[in-house]
Amino acid sequence: MDGLRCILEPLPFNEGIGETVAALKEHGIKVVIVSGGLDIVAQRIAERYGFDDFIANGVESDESGHLTGEGVLRVELLNKKLALDALLSKYSVRRERAACVGDSFIDIPMFKACGMSIAFNPMDQRVSDNATFVVRNRNLSAVLPFILNGGKRASQSL
């Protein structure tokens, strides 16, 4: 497992992630990660930037820390909605009060389950078409006006 952590350590993060999480938490908003990726990456991001929680997939290792080759499925790649539902239930949040941010077609089912969805630098038009708002910006904090103002913006794209 240590070898896997070393490989994944240099992964880049979105500019403005810390500022965005801090601003949302300052407004009493729970901030969570729903990822189809690996839990060791999601945990590192959650701890570094102060997320309240995360859910992601894992890998199994034996008692000596060697990978077994088995995975732990917690987030279905094509149905992130199920993982989102688990977190909404855990924190007693209604779907219509949830805001989701994503960039890929795998986020679309989650988008459809949220009151507000933001396609942040979407990878393709399908993602944009299924989001409430589209934000094209290098800095993640560009999503804040949409979330903090309850989606009330003159423009639906930034």
Provide the residue ranges of all domains of the chain, joining segments of one domain with +.
Answer: 2-148
pTM of the model: 0.84
pLDDT of residue 4: 45
CA–CA gap between residue 123 and residue 134 (Å, rounded):
11
Query: N- to C-terminal Cα distance for the chain?
Result: 40
Buried-exposed string 62-89: b where 16+ CB fall within 10 A, e elsewhere = eeeeeeeeeeeebbeeeebbebbbebbe
Asked if the 2-148 domain carries CATH number 3.40.50.2300, the reply is: no
Report whether 121 contacts 137 (CB < 8 A).
Answer: yes
CA–CA gap between residue 90 and residue 84 (Å, rounded):
10
61: confidence class by pLDDT, cuts 50, 70, 90: confident
- Give the rounded percent of residues in the chain with a pLDDT score beyond 70: 87
Report whether 45 contacts 33 (CB < 8 A).
Answer: yes
Q: What confidence tens digit (pLDDT) does each residue in 95-112 have?
A: 999 999 999 999 999 999
